[in-house]
Amino acid sequence: MASFLLHGIPVSRGIAIGRAHLLTPAALDVKHYLVPEEQVEAEVRRLQDAIAAVHHNLQELWAGLPKDAPTELGAFIDVHALILSDPMISEAPLDIIRARHYNAEWALVTQIDELSAQFDEIEDPYLRERKYDIQQVAERVLKVLTGTALSVAPVFADEDQPPPQMIVVAHDISPADMLAFRDRSFIGFVTDVGGQNSHTAIVARSLDIPAVVGMDQASRLVEQDDWLIVDGDAGVVICNPSQLVLEQYRARQITMAKARKRLLKLKKTPAITRDGTTITLLANIELPDDCPAALEAGANGVGLFRSEFLFMGRGAQALRIPDEEEQFEQYRKAVLAMKGRPVTIRTLDVGADKPLDQTDHTALNPALGLRAIRYCLAEPQMFLVQLRAILRASAFGKVRILIPMLAHAFEIDQTLGMIEQAKIQLRDEKIRFDEGIEVGAMIEIPAAALALPLFVRRMDFLSIGTNDLIQYLLAIDRVDYEVAHLYNPLHPAVLQLIASTIATGHKAGLDVAVCGEMAGDVKLTRLLLGMGLREFSMHPAQLLAVKQEILNTDLGVVTTRTRRILRAMEPGEIASAVEQLQTL
C-alpha cells in the first residue's frame, strides 16, 4: 500500500504505532422524507424512544466506569446526559416533526445544524468547540434510529490472545465512546475535527495518549487496519510507513520512554536554577478533579482555574448559570484538593454572542465584543453570584481572584467595587472569607500591557495571557487556519511587550506569571526566564519537562543572551538565537 503523510493539530504528546481502527459515525447525511399526517405522532415516539435508549446507554457507561478511569470521563458522560435532557434536543426536534412532518433523523439533524451554527459564532475557542459535544450526542441518537450498534469497540476473534495495538481514526470521538477502549490496546487516536481545547483533546491529555486532531480527511483517506504512526509532538500521522521509517520511530519511542522515566524522578525536586533561583510552577485546570494530576506533577498551586467550565456543557440550550451554592462547592473542592497550595480562580471568560444571554444580539466581531469582564460587568447579578462563591471558598485555603480581558482603569475600579459589595454582603450574613484575598489582572490586551502603571497601582498580581495577547497584537485569529501560520510568539513586538510587562510588574513589587501556551513550551522556557519570569502556569502534563529545563538553566547566561534577542528585529535572527539558548 502507498505511504502518505497527514498534518493536523497536536493535542497530546508522544508517539503511537499501531493498526488503524476506523469508527463509522452515524451519517449526518441522513435520509430526508416527509411523514404523512397520520404517522406524525408515531415518528415523534420513534425519536423519543431513541433518546430514551441513549439515556439508558449513558447510565450503563457511568455505572461501568472503572475505578481508575480519569475523572474527566465521568464528567463528560454527565455533560452528554445533560445535553440529551435539554429541551433543545429532547423537545425541539419533536416540534419540527409535528410542524414540518420531517422524519425523525431529518428533524434531529436540522436542529443540530442550527445549534452548531450558533456555537460557531462564539469567539472563545474552548466554548466554541462544545458544539462537538452536541454533535456527538446527536450521533448516538442517530445510531439508534438507523439501527447502528452503540458499541464502538472492535471485536477480536480470539479473546485469549492480546489484541493488536490500535489507533482509533474517526471524524470525531465522544468521550463516552472512548470508555469502550479503556481496557483494550487503545494507544492513540486521530480525528478530522477538534482543537486544542476540545473534550477529545482534554481526555487524551488526561490519559496521556498520543493524539492528533483537526486532520480534515483522515477518516476518509485511512483504511481499516492500515499501519499508522501518530506523532503527537509534531501533529503528524504517517499511513503505511516504510520499514525504515517504522524503525526510526520505534527508536524514538524507546528514547522518549527513557526520558519520561527520568522526568518522573523530578516530581519532588524543587524548581531551582543552577545559580540558585527558585521558580514557581503552577498548573492550569478546567475542573476541580484536575487537582490530583497537578499535585502528582509537583505543581506549587493552581495558576489558572478556568471557571467557565462550570457555565458550559449544561445542555444544548447554550450556557446556563450555576447558582452560588453549586459554584461554591466546586471552588471549595479545588481549594481543599490542593492541600494549602494557592488556587487562582479566573472569573467567567466567555465569548460575545448569546450563550449566557438569550437575546438576539450577535456580535459583529466576537473577539472585540462583549466578552470576559465586559460581559460580567454588564451582568452584575450573575457576576456578584460568582464573586460571592469564590470569596466563600477562600475561607478553606489560599484563593486568588483573576480578572480576564481588562483594558481600562474604570473596568478595574468597577470590578473592585463589585468585589467589595460581595464582601459587605457576606459580612452582613456572617459568612467567613479571606479579607485579604488578592485580586489580579490578566494582561492579554495590548492596551493593558502598554498602560501597565494603571494596573500595578490597583492590582495585587498580574498574569500574562499570551494566547490572546499574541492574537490581538498581531491581529490574528488563531483558530482561523487561513492565517494561523502568522500566529508567532517570537514576533519582536510580542517579545518586547511580554518582557516589559514582566519588568514593570516586578518593579512595582507584584508577582507576574505567564499562563498561556508559551509557559508550557520547553523551547521558550529559557527565553522567559531570561526576561525575568519567575512564575509559570501550564497544563500539568507539561510541568516536569519545563522543570527539567529550569534545573539546567544558568540565569546569568540566559539573561544576557535574552537582552540581545529583545534588541533583534529579524525573524530568522530571533529564531536562531532562541534555539541557541537551549544548547547553553
Residues tagged active-site: 199, 515
Provide the strand spans (E) within 252-342.
280-285, 302-306
Which DSSP category does 260 fall into?
H
- What is the C-alpha to C-alpha distance for residues 140 and 549, in angstroms, rounded to an integer? 45
Q: Grid coordinates in use for 69? A: 478511569
CA distances from 75 to 70, 337, 558 (A): 9, 17, 43
Burial class (CB in 10 A: 0-12, 13-18, 19+), 583: exposed
Placement of cell 481502527 in the chain: 21
Q: Are strands 438-443 and 399-403 parallel, antiparallel or unpaired?
A: parallel
Collapsing DSSP states into helix, strand and coil, what is residue 98? Answer: helix
Would residue 372 be called left, alpha or beta, if left means φ above 0 and alpha means ψ between -120 and 50 degrees? Answer: left
Would residue 211 be called left, alpha or beta, if left means φ above 0 and alpha means ψ between -120 and 50 degrees? Answer: beta
Give the residue from 322, 354, 357, 317 showing the smallest Cα distance to 91. 317
Would residue 216 be called left, alpha or beta, if left means φ above 0 and alpha means ψ between -120 and 50 degrees? Answer: left
227-231 β-sheet, strand order:
4-7, 236-239, 227-231, 15-22, 166-170, 186-191, 211-213, 9-12
